[in-house]
Chain A
Amino acid sequence: NAGVMQNPRHLVRRRGQEARLRCSPMKGHSHVYWYRQLPEEGLKFMVYLQKENIIDESGMPKERFSAEFPKEGPSILRIQQVVRGDSAAYFCASSPDGQTQYFGPGTRLLVL
Chain B
Amino acid sequence: DQQVKQNSPSLSVQEGRISILNCDYTNSMFDYFLWYKKYPAEGPTFLISISSIKDKNEDGRFTVFLNKSAKHLSLHIVPSQPGDSAVYFCAASGETGANNLFFGTGTRLTVIP
A residues touching B (Cβ–Cβ < 8 Å)? 4, 6, 31, 33, 35, 40-45, 48, 55-56, 58-59, 91, 93, 95, 98-106, 108
Contact = CB atoms under 8 A, between A and B. Distances in A.
Interface in B19-54: 32, 34, 36, 41-46, 49
Contact of B98 (A6, A55, A105): A55
Contacts, number: 64
A19 B35 CA distance: 30
A10 to B, nearest CB: 9
Contacts of A48: 98-100
Contacts of A108: 41
Contacts of B98: 48, 55-56
Interface residues of B, number: 24
21 contacts: A4-B43, A6-B43, A42-B4, A42-B89, A42-B103, A43-B44, A43-B89, A43-B91, A45-B100, A45-B101, A45-B102, A48-B98, A58-B100, A59-B100, A93-B101, A99-B49, A103-B44, A103-B46, A105-B41, A106-B41, A108-B41
Given A43-B89, A59-B100, A105 B32 contact: no
Contact of A99 (B42, B96, B99): B99
B99 A103 contact: no
Interface of B: 4, 32, 34, 36, 41-46, 49, 89, 91, 93, 96, 98-106
Contacts of A41: 105
Contacts of B32: 99
A91 B44 contact: yes
Given A99-B99, A103-B36, A42 B43 contact: no
A6 B46 CA distance: 17
A43 B42 CA distance: 13
